[in-house]
Structure 1
Amino acid sequence: MIGTGTTAVVTGGSSGIGAATAALLARRGCDVVVVGRDAAALSAVAARTGARVCAADLAEPDAAGRVLAEAGAVNLLVCNAGIGWAGPVAGMAPSDVERLVQVNLLGAIRLVRGVLPGMLARGRGHLVLVSSIAGNMHVAGEAVYSATKAGLAAFAASVRGEVAGCGVGVSVVVPGVVDTPFFDRRGVPYERRTPRPVPPERVARALVRAVERNRAEVFVPRWLRFPARLRGAAPVLTDALQRRFG
C-alpha cells in the first residue's frame, strides 16, 4: 500500500502530524497530495517533500469533491485535519460548534464516502482516521472536540465492518498530546507537566506502520491504550481518577 504507484491524500497537511506524514510517505515513493487551508504553508511542505498541493477548507460541503477531483484515484486517505476549542460548552458559540463538527468529523466522512467506491472497485486501499485520546477519555473544557474525535472512531469501526474482505483497510490513530501548533491555534496553550508532548514524527511513523500492518487501532504513545480501555470497563472509576490526578 505504501510505495511507488500509491496516491496518498493527507488532510491537515500544512504542519504537525500531517506534514510529518506527508514527508514520510513521500520518502517511501508515494504521490502525496497535501490538503489544508494555508496555501503558503502547504507550498512549503510541497517544496520539502515533492507533494502536490490542494488548498481547501474541509468545512465547506463541496471541498471533499474538489480535493478528490484534483487527486485522482486515491489508494491511501489520511484524514488528519482537525481544529480545537477550549472552554465550557455552555459558553461556546453555535458557529464554533458547527465548525468543529464540520472540519473534524463531517469533512472526514465526506472524503471517505468519496474515495471508498473507487477503492472497493479496485479491491485495494486504506483509510486512516486520526482521532485523539480526548475521544476516549473525559476532557473537561473540550466537550465538542472530544465528541468529534469519538465520532471518528465509531465511524471507522462501522466502515471497517462494511469493507471486511474487500481489500480495503481502516485504521484509527489515537495520539495523546503532540508537539504541534494545535494548542496555539485554539488559543489555549498546553500547560500540564504530564503527559509530555510527543513529536509529530513519532505519530507519523506509527500511522505508516498501522497501514503496513493493517492495524485497526494504534495509540501514540502506546501506554495510552491502558487508560482508554480502563474507562471502557469502568467509566465512573476512571473519571474519578482523572478528577483526582488530572
Structure 2
Amino acid sequence: MDAGRGEGVRRGIGGNHIGDDVGVPPSRTDEGDVTMRLAGARVLITGASSGIGAATARAMTEVGARVVLSGRDRERLEAVASETGGQALTCDLTTDVAGLAERAGTVDVLVCNAGTGWAGPFATMPDETVEHMVACNLTAPIRLTRSLLPAMIERGRGHLVFVASIAGAVGVRDEAVYAATKAGLLVFAESLRYELRGIGVSVVLPGVVDTPFFERRGAPYTRRWPVPIPAERVARAVVAAVEHGRPETYAPGWLRLPARLKGAVPGPFRALAGVFGRQ
C-alpha cells in the first residue's frame, strides 16, 4: 500500500470514533484499511429489488445491520424490504440521486450496486443506451457518493462499497461501454482511498452471477464456462469487504488471476481473451 495513504488512514482513525449508530470505534487492518462492525449500522443498498442487491440486503440483515433499499421495481423492492425489515425507497438513480440521498437520511455504509447492461458490437449500440448505461452505472454512484460522503466525513465513520465487475479490470468483447463504466468505478474508488481518512472504500468484482441481469440486457448468458455463481456469494463478499476492510475482492477469488495476468503479460492475455470472447 502507498505509504501516504496508509498514514492518512491512521491519522483519521486516531481522531474519530464511530457514534451512536454503530457504537464501536473503527479499526484498521495491518495495511491501514478501515474495518467496521456492521451490527447496528445503517446500510443503503442500490439495485436492491433483486439479484446481488437483494442478496446483500439479506446478508447485511443477518449480521445485524439496518438496511435501506433502493430500486425501481416497487413491488419487488417492497417484498425484499418486508423480508429484511428494511426501508424501501423507490428511485430511478439516473434522474433522482439527490432525492434518494435526502430520503435515506443518515447512512453508515453505502453499497452502490445498481447497474444495467447491454451486449453487442459497440458500433451498433444506440446512443440513448450508451447515455443511460453511463448515467446508471457510473454517474449515479459518483453523485450518490458525493451526496452522502460529507456527512460520513463529519461523523468520522463510514464505508463505501462499489459493486464493479471483472469486465472493468480486463475488458470484455461486446461489452465495451459496460466494461468502461465498471473500470471507471475501480479508478474512482482507488482515487477516493488517497483522499479519505477513517472512511473505508471497497470494490467487489464479480464474474458471471446467476441473476436476472442477463435477461434484462437482452442477451442471455450461454457459455458453458465460467459457471455462474449465486448472488449470495457476492453478497457475502460485500459484507466481508466492510467487516475486514478489504479494498478489492474478486468473486470468485480465482478471477484475480486473469486480472494479474493482463497486467503482467498484456499481449498474450489479449490473444487468449480474443479467442475466449468469440466462443
Q: Shorter-chain TM-score: what band?
A: over 0.9
Aligned to 1:44: 79
Q: Which has the higher contact order (CA 8 A, sep 6+)?
A: 2
2:225 aligned to 191, 194, 212, which one?
A: 194
The offset of 1:28, in angstroms, is 2.0
**Structure 1 consecutive aligned stretches of length 4 or more whose deviation exceeds 6 Å:** none
User: How far apart, in 2, do the equivalents of 1:208 and 1:31 lie?
Assistant: 13
Cα contact 2:163–2:205 (8 A) shared by 1: yes
Q: Unaligned regions of 5+ residues in structure 1, if any?
A: none
1:9 aligned to 37, 40, 44, which one?
A: 44
Aligned to 2:234: 203
User: How far apart, in 2, do the equivalents of 1:104 and 1:122 lie?
Assistant: 28
1:66 aligned to 99, 103, 114, which one?
A: 99
1:237 aligned to 268, 271, 277, which one?
A: 268
Aligned to 1:128: 161
Q: Which one has a bigger Cα radius of gyration?
A: 2
Q: Unaligned regions of 5+ residues in structure 2, if any?
A: 1-35
The reply on whether 1:167 has 2:198 as its aligned counterpart is: yes
User: How far apart, in 2, do the equivalents of 1:173 and 1:88 lie?
Assistant: 26
Trace 1:81-100 onto structure 2 (pairs within 5 A): 81-100=114-133
The reply on whether 1:215 has 2:249 as its aligned counterpart is: no
| Identity value in percent | 56
1:20 aligned to 55, 64, 78, which one?
A: 55
The offset of 1:233, in angstroms, is 2.2
User: How far apart, in 2, do the equivalents of 1:78 and 1:2 lie?
Assistant: 15
Cα contact 2:157–2:198 (8 A) shared by 1: yes
1:116 aligned to 145, 149, 152, which one?
A: 149
1:148-205 alpha-carbon deviations (Å, 9 max, x no partner): 0000000000011100xx2100000000000000000001000000000000000000
1:1-30 alpha-carbon deviations (Å, 9 max, x no partner): 343431110001000110000011122222
Q: TM-score, normalised by structure 2?
A: 0.85
The reply on whether 1:105 has 2:135 as its aligned counterpart is: no
Q: TM-score, normalised by structure 1?
A: 0.96
User: How far apart, in 2, do the equivalents of 1:75 and 1:50 lie?
Assistant: 17
User: How far apart, in 1, do the equivalents of 2:171 and 2:139 lie?
Assistant: 22
User: How far apart, in 2, do the equivalents of 1:72 and 1:138 lie?
Assistant: 36
**Secondary structure of the equivalent of 2:209?**
coil
**Secondary structure of the equivalent of 1:136?**
helix
